[in-house]
Structure 1
């Protein structure tokens, strides 16, 4: 996949079938849209492309971050690439693009820069100055200018419309266990391990701490069953998200205790996958009560991991028998 981060970089490309959207999460609805785009492009002998913005338009228009990211930019690009896309147009939503009319958006960007011959979008896609453009606008333009239009119907799972807004709500509410159903993967945050207050080490539960990335949506305060991905290996563990009220540390962070792990990770990059919330974060009377609760939390997390592994083995056995 070739990625373009500005209009100036887009040169000598072939004609395309373009998927339109913010794709902030690349959830199952987005994946379906992109798969259809890739299939159409291959059948027509064209290049498949995804057009998205590197920054969220709503944040630009509001002048402040009102929409939190679900995916890191590099993860978003990697997921789009994994779906077989040839071109990724990841442009900055700037003042010039902001003031393009719907007609200019189609003519200058889609047709002019991206050499679009077909386009795929969701039923609620909006574009152009003050969001004046809609799928209906594209349909009318396609009939006039001779390009194909495909509008994806609402994509639902268990009766729920799959959307980035829904996923953000689930994460912010601590309902991380439901995310995989809509995203196709566990919700993940990452960062560099920093020095904490080292209280966990003194009570027998050393933790790897990462600071909250303010650009990312983060889970509600609480204790979670997690995986910790480090250096290409996935480790079982348990994670606390919050301000550690018993200790009196008011800076929200993410601290992960990795089971059966003794390496020092300060300064290293880790990724934490959230599987299920065990309980909300609460304040204990003293550190001893906290340690006793952490011991119970770890036992519950280990049981969860065991059940998950057993279920995975059963699924693999069934696949093998088929």
Structure 2
């Protein structure tokens, strides 16, 4: 996949089917839209492209509260690439772009630079000055300029319209167990392990610490059942998000204890997948009380992981049995006439 991060970088793009949107989180609705663009490109012998912005357009509005991201740009790019996309245009949303009238946006960017032959967007896609552009504008211009437009209706799961805003709300409120339903994967935080105060090791529960990025949406303080992905292996773990109020005043961070793991990870890259929140972070009267609670947290997390492992085992057995049954010959079809 070829990635363009500045508008002026775009050179010699081949005619493309282009998915348009912000795509933060690349949730299941986004994935469906992008997949349709990829499918169209293959059918029409075009390239597939995703056009998005590296910052949220609302961040440029006067007095607007900064929108926190769900994914880092490299994570976003990896997921989009996995969908079979040829080009990713992930450029800054600037005042110049914000003030372009919708027709100029289509002509100067989508047609002259991206050579768009088919546009794919959601029902609520907006572009151009004062967000005056919408799917109807795209369709009208497309009639004259020879490109088609596919407008995807609201994508619903369990009655809820899937959106990046919904997922941010779930993460920020600690409902991390719901994220996989809408994203197709667990919510996760990744980064390089930093040196902490080493109290966990002294208590018998060594942790791998990650610094919280203030530009990213993060779950509220508390204890979570997690997986820790390191070097291609996924380990059961338990994670505390918070400020460590029992032992002092610290900035918010992520501390993960990996079960049955004794390697030092300082300076290494890890990814922490959040499965379920078990309790809020609280201040204990002393370290002994904190240590006793950590034991209970670990026991609860291990039980949850054991439950997940059993569910996975049963699902694998069911799938294997179904495959075996499907492969068996039909007695009625193969019985010889007697």
Given the two structures, how large is their TM-score scaled by the length of structure 2? 0.92
Which structure 2 residues correspond to residues 1-322 of structure 1 after superposition, within 5 A?
Answer: 1-62=1-62, 66-321=66-321, 322=323
Please identify, of 199-208 and 72-81, the stretch whose mean Cα deviation from structure 2 is larger.
Answer: 199-208
CA shift at 1:64, angstroms? 7.3
CA shift at 1:283, angstroms? 1.3
CA distance in 1, matches of 2:138, 2:186: 34
**Structure 1 residues 86 and 63: alpha-carbon distance in aligned structure 2, compared to 1, 3 A threshold:** farther
8 Å contact 1:156–1:162 — kept in the other structure? yes
| Unpaired stretches in structure 2, ≥5 consecutive residues | 324-338
**Structure 1 residues 318 and 122: alpha-carbon distance in aligned structure 2, compared to 1, 3 A threshold:** same
8 Å contact 1:225–1:278 — kept in the other structure? yes
CA distance in 1, matches of 2:72, 2:140: 35
SS of equivalent residue, structure 2 residue 50 = strand
Question: Could you list the per-position Cα deviations for residues 187-231 of structure 1 after superposition, in whole angstroms to 9, with x for gaps in the alignment?
Answer: 111122112122111111111111101111101110000111112
Please identify, of 146-155 and 89-98, the stretch whose mean Cα deviation from structure 2 is larger.
Answer: 89-98
8 Å contact 1:179–1:186 — kept in the other structure? yes
CA shift at 1:146, angstroms? 2.1
8 Å contact 2:222–2:240 — kept in the other structure? yes
CA distance in 1, matches of 2:255, 2:114: 44
CA distance in 2, matches of 1:266, 1:295: 24
SS of equivalent residue, structure 1 residue 272 = strand
CA distance in 1, matches of 2:61, 2:269: 33
CA shift at 1:62, angstroms? 4.5
Runs of 4+ aligned structure 1 residues displaced above 4 Å come to 62-65
SS of equivalent residue, structure 2 residue 112 = helix
Question: Could you list the per-position Cα deviations for residues 167-199 of structure 1 after superposition, in whole angstroms to 9, with x for gaps in the alignment?
Answer: 000000011000000000001111221121221
CA distance in 2, matches of 1:166, 1:107: 33
Please identify, of 272-281 and 258-267, the stretch whose mean Cα deviation from structure 2 is larger.
Answer: 258-267
8 Å contact 1:65–1:215 — kept in the other structure? no
CA distance in 1, matches of 2:22, 2:251: 31
| Unpaired stretches in structure 1, ≥5 consecutive residues | none
SS of equivalent residue, structure 1 residue 246 = coil
CA shift at 1:263, angstroms? 1.1
- Over alpha carbons, which structure has the higher Rg? 2
CA shift at 1:278, angstroms? 0.7
- Aligned residues, how many? 322
CA distance in 1, matches of 2:178, 2:62: 30
CA distance in 2, matches of 1:225, 1:62: 39
Question: Could you list the per-position Cα deviations for residues 240-266 of structure 1 after superposition, in whole angstroms to 9, with x for gaps in the alignment?
Answer: 001111112331111011111111111
